[in-house]
Amino acid sequence: MTTHLMEIDSDSDDQTNSAGENDILAADLTALGKAIPWVEKYRPQSLDDVAAHRDIVDTIDRLTTENRLPHLLLYGPPGTGKTSTILAVARKLYGPRFQNMILELNASDDRGIEVVRQQIQDFASTQSLSFGLSSLSFISRIDILLLFELIFFLILQLYVLHCVLLLPILVYWSIQSVKSSVKLVLLDEADAMTKDAQFALRRVIEKYTKSTRFALICNHVNKIIPALQSRCTRFRFAPLDAVHVTERLKHVIKAEGLDVEDDGLAALVRLSNGDMRKALNILQSTHMATHQITEEVVYLCTGNPLPKDIEQISYWLLNEQFADSFKRIDEMKTRKGLALVDIIREVIMFVFKIKMPSAVRVQLMNDLADIEYRLSFGCNDKLQLGSVIASFTRARSALVAAAT
């Protein structure tokens, strides 16, 4: 009886331990899910999931379906879906073989000519044959007789009857695989490649066009040599409009169960400037700071000046004397931790709302652009703040002169 009770207690302990292990595993998986950046968690997995640029996506989709995919050059600002689009194309082309059939390189890190001569050329020079669920890679330079000897050796290991039945299937699968075995080389940030590397890549593209497609992704197409541009079909990814950014943010907000006010959502869209990656990063960082996301919280978390602060600063610039404007703006900048370059960028947008002669507006915009340029070289903030106030003082004098 005692032994029986001990067995029952042991089973109970095992069940308790098992339940505890399951709870720990579930907690670990939950923590892992929370640790994934939302940029990767909600990256489009198929072409249908891409938020915008439907004309470009539909064109690439049609070329992929008809097995007429050319070399691609996708360019445009960051966060507009260039990399996500080409990765979705690769998943559609290769399915489970996705990892074996694509070479993904970031050209900002691997930018020299040796990468083209070694990694890219080695990958492009291999021919992939797929038998059923497994894939075997043979170097294309291998003697064809050696390939036949290998096949013959495999046949000898099987029963003759089975071989006779299996051989036509293997040949059919091989032919179908060769038709769809064109591999893909993805070069992200290709505009960071050196000129020598780009010229070497041109020769590699010419040599391996039959077996490999190349997809170049960059922000500045003018940094790609004309010889590469002429060998690729170019698509420009413009910044996403507010409608598409809002729709995608609403999808993430609903999936994560976030509490986002309407003004907070509008602030996210405004600060993203058409960059979906930036919008998701701001949303995630703001959510980590507070559970209720409002306009003020979004601006505080990103360090950008609030719209009401920009209105106040613009009022001082247009109405106060030089010394008073300098003192008040400098105090606000120090108290709220604002960067002068951020203030200038927002004030520039506010200038367009002010009614003034075109000549005055053009001169003011030119002065502010020069100040922003000097700030990018690390010039003194206080000196450049004085230049901002002086520019508005001169514009105000021109307005008074025009009115009289």
pLDDT digits (tens, 9 = 90+) for 76-87: 999 999 999 999
pLDDT score recorded for residue 129: 47
Helix, strand, coil shares of the chain, percent, nearest 5, are: 65, 10, 25
- Domain parsing of the chain, residue ranges: 2-35, 47-236, 242-302, 308-403
Check if the beta carbon of residue 50 is closer than 8 Å to that of residue 84.
yes
Class of CATH domain 242-302: mainly alpha
> Rounded to 5 degrees, what are φ and ψ at 214?
-115, 135
Look up tokens 């809002």; give the residue: 246
pTM of the shown model: 0.74
Q: Which helix (H) or strand (E) holds 155?
A: helix 144-156
> Rounded to 5 degrees, what are φ and ψ at 215?
-120, 115
Look up tokens 């930036």; give the residue: 278
Q: Which DSSP string do the residues of 71-101 spell out, in sequence order? A: -EEEESSTTSSHHHHHHHHHHHHHGGGHHHH
pLDDT score recorded for residue 103: 86
Look up the CATH superfamily of 47-236. Answer: P-loop containing nucleotide triphosphate hydrolases (3.40.50.300)
pLDDT score recorded for residue 287: 93
Which residues of the chain are modeled with pLDDT < 50?
1-10, 25-29, 31-32, 129-143, 145, 159-161, 170-179
pLDDT score recorded for residue 143: 46
Check if the beta carbon of residue 293 is closer than 8 Å to that of residue 286.
yes
pLDDT score recorded for residue 101: 85
CATH number of 308-403: 1.20.272.10
